[in-house]
Amino acid sequence: MKSIQRKLASGLLISLMTVFLLLWLIVSQNIQKLSEDNMTSRLKHDIETLLTAVSFDQNDNIKIDEEYINSVYKRPFSGHYYLIQFRQTNIRSRSLWDQSLIAPSQLNSDYQTSYQPGPDNQALIVLSAQFEKQKHMITISIAEDLTPVTQAIDSFENYFTIISISMLAGLLLIQVIILKRGLQPLRKIHSELSQLEQGKITSLSVSVPYELKAVVKEINQLSLALNKRLQRSRDALSDLSHAIKKPLTVLQQLSDQETTLNKTSKVTLDGQIDSIQKITDRILKRARVAGKSRTTQSYSISQELDLLIKTIRMMYPDKDLDTELNLTDKLQINIDREDLLELLGNLLDNAWKWADKKILISIRQDQQLHISIEDDGSGHKAESLNEVMNRGVRLDESVSGYGFGLAISAGIVKDYEGTLHFSRSETLGGFKAEISIPA
């Protein structure tokens, strides 16, 4: 997702560009229209002057009084031209030299404007109209070169474009500075959140704008509540550990010293003491799991797996198992290192316990992190283990022979919003544990 600053800046850029583009179009079109309207008004005045200069003799021959004709119409290719049409007679201005204007085929008393090329590649605006004088119908067309006006307009548009782009860049720069200053409190909160996550501070600063005070207040209250809850849990676990270990030690000493107990009772007592010790260790170990959270700790999964496998081999010196690793490249592990080692350690311990000759470990990643551990053991209790995990049975009711490791693993996976599924391995025929955790 884009940052707020980028979204605001891009929105402002699009808005300003749209406004400046519309302004440029409006100014350009209106400048062009105003220029042509001014030229048309001047051409109408010249047409009226020409109409005044036109007269007819007794033989109905048309005549032009040169005194009314402006000298600009006498200079060749001056950019000002006229054409007077009466019956089959065409009277052209001297400025046209050997060329002529094209009058519209149908005219009335209204003025009609057209555009056509003129002498010397000039772009002409032509104003034409039909008049009745001395009971004779005549057509007068008068033209003017648009090139000087067009060049002036182009020069103005270039100047206006440069000014507009400069103003746009200046406004954007000012807006970026305003946005950076306005969003500075958010950057401060982001920095403090990172420090809060790393344990460098215990709460966020309340020196923030009014709009952010409620958010900061809620975060501080949530952080305080979580810290208190975590501290209470740690204190309770510490108390439990100290409280239970002392009587267990006494019981163990009595079991070692008491000679009146028969062999069966002594074995039973030792077994129960050992069971209580294991339960206590597992509960305390489970309480140390960090759970789903950001971690700055980086590690190599392949190296950690190698060390873990070597450790488990030492735990089972009488088993020489073949371990096959299938790891994809560039794995992005978002699990706390201790949690991952606890998770894999429990599953590998279980696999080592029941495997005959081989264990297969596969780790791949797409939208999720997929981990599977398979062995070639009996694998006949996978379905019952799934039922145990789904029912949420207490740790001391777990399936016999599998210990508490799988229940601990299920808890870790649940903390990371993942899934843990047990089934029969299609490859090796034994037990298979499959884990999927959102990447």
Query: For residues 358 and 400, is the Cβ–Cβ distance under 8 A?
Result: no
- Residues 281 and 305 occupy one common structural domain: no
- The whole-number pLDDT of residue 385 equals 59
- Count other Cβ atoms within 10 Å, centred on residue 56: 15
Examine residue 161 and state whether it is found in any structural domain, yes or no.
no
Instruction: Render pLDDT for 371-421 as a digit per residue (tens, 0 to 9).
Output: 999 999 876 555 555 554 554 444 344 444 445 677 778 888 888 888 998
Question: What pLDDT sits at residue 7?
Answer: 80
Contacts 24+ apart (CB under 8 A), 294-300: 294/197, 295/334, 295/336, 295/337, 296/198, 297/336, 297/337, 299/333, 299/337
**Residue 408 and residue 371 share a domain:** yes
| pTM for the model | 0.44
Residue 334 or residue 169, greater confidence: 169
pLDDT band at 1 (very low <50, low <70, confident <90, very high): very low
Selection from 388, 370, 357 nearest residue 434 by Cα: 370
Q: How is residue 430 annotated by DSSP? A: S
Examine the domain organization and report whether 123 and 51 are in the same domain.
yes
Q: What is the DSSP letter of 261?
A: S
- Percent of the chain at pLDDT above 70? 82
Examine the domain organization and report whether 368 and 392 are in the same domain: yes
Quick one: 12 and 142 in the same domain? yes
Is 194 inside any structural domain?
A: no
CB-CB contact of 377 with 356 (8 Å):
yes
**In Å, how far are 220, 336, 392 from 11, measured between CA atoms?**
33, 40, 52
Domain of 68 in residue numbering reads as 4-151
**How many Cα neighbours within 13 Å face the side chain of 304?**
18
* 388 and 394 Cβ atoms separated by less than 8 Å: no
**Cβ contacts of 47 within 8 Å, gap of 6 or more:** 111, 127, 129, 140, 142
pLDDT of 2 reads: 61
The pLDDT, as a whole number, for residue 258 is: 56
Per mean pLDDT, which range of 8-12, 87-91, 105-109, 164-168 is the poorest?
A: 105-109
Indicate whether 345 belongs to any domain.
yes
Residue 241 buriedness (CB in 10 A; 0-12 / 13-18 / 19+) = middle
Could you read off the pLDDT of 264-300 as tens digits, one per residue? Answer: 767 777 777 776 776 676 666 555 555 555 444 567 7
Question: Which tokens belong to 303?
Answer: 């190296």
